[in-house]
Structure 1
Amino acid sequence: MNSILEKEKKLNLALTKLKSLNLENPDIKKNIEILGEQKNQLEIEKSEIEKKYKTLVDEHDNLTRKLEELENKEKIEEKKRIEFSEKIDELNQETNTLMDEIDKWQT
């Protein structure tokens, strides 16, 4: 029981001290205003950084898509080169065969 009375006295003392605080202190008001201005400035900077980040993400996505398109085009071109080379080889073989046939006819 004694403990409860002591706690109540401490609580009442703390409440009295809180009530006696002068919240109208000009230094506190000025500090609160400065903190408010700093908060606003940080929010503006945050917003600008978020916009720049979104722009960079969009740019990255765009570049990634373009790179994939270029890689696909390169694969297609390589496939065409291989097919062209194979056709040339076929034509060379046919030409050699025809030349052999011509040689046979001439002899």
Structure 2
Amino acid sequence: NYIYMNSVIEKEKKLNLALAKLKNLNLKNPDVKKNIENLSSQKNQLEIEKQEIEEKYKSLINDYNSLSKKLDELQNQEKAEQKRQIEFSEKIDELNQETDILLDEIDKWQT
């Protein structure tokens, strides 16, 4: 889009320059007048295309920002889930240690 946009801007500049030069020529010549009208029409078409591209670009930027935000949220959720899993594993380890201690105590009482 960026490259195409620059191309459109360059074409528009060239057409504006050509129109300015043609306006300084003899406007009574029918070929000159026809060329001016043709260039003016092309310029209008390019301006319409430029506007459409700018709108598409804005839409893409909005989509990108929205997707980036969603990705950040998912990554944060994943980190929170990993943290909960680590905490759960630690609790299980603590429970296992307490069970081992309890079994040792039971063994001592039995002997």
TM range (shorter): 0.7 to 0.9
How big is the alpha-carbon RMSD for the aligned residues of Structure 1 and Structure 2? Answer: 1.0
Task: Indicate the percent of aligned positions where both proteins have the same amino acid.
Answer: 70
1:96 paired with 2:100, answer yes
Instruction: For residues 26-47 of structure 1, give each alpha carbon's deviation from its aligned partner in whole angstroms, at most 9, with x where no partner exists.
Output: 1011001101110110011001
Deviation at 1:93, TM superposition (A): 0.3
Q: Which residue of 1 aligns with 2:37?
A: 33
2:60 to 56, 60, 64: 56
Give yes or no for the alignment of 1:24 onto 2:28.
yes
Secondary structure of 1:24 counterpart: coil
Q: List alignment gaps of at least 5 residues for structure 1.
A: 1-20
Extract structure 1 runs of 4+ deviating beyond 4 A: none
Q: Which amino acid aligns with 1:64?
A: S
What amino acid does structure 1 have at the position aligned with 2:47? Answer: E
Higher relative contact order (CA 8 A, sep 6+): 2
Letter in 1 for 2:68: T
Task: Structure 2: state its 5+ residue gaps.
Answer: 1-24
Counterpart residue number, 1:67 = 71
**C-alpha distance in 1 between matches for 2:49 and 2:26:** 34
Q: Number of aligned residue pairs: give it.
A: 87
Instruction: Return the alpha-carbon distance in structure 1 between the equivalents of residues 27 and 83 of structure 2.
Output: 79
- Give the aligned residue type for 1:36: S
* TM-score, normalised with respect to structure 1: 0.78
Per the TM alignment, residue 22 of structure 1 is displaced from its structure 2 partner at its CA by 3.6
TM-score (norm 2): 0.75
Q: 1:78 is aligned with what amino acid?
A: Q
CA deviation profile, 1:72-92 (whole Å, cap 9, x unmatched): 111111110110010000000
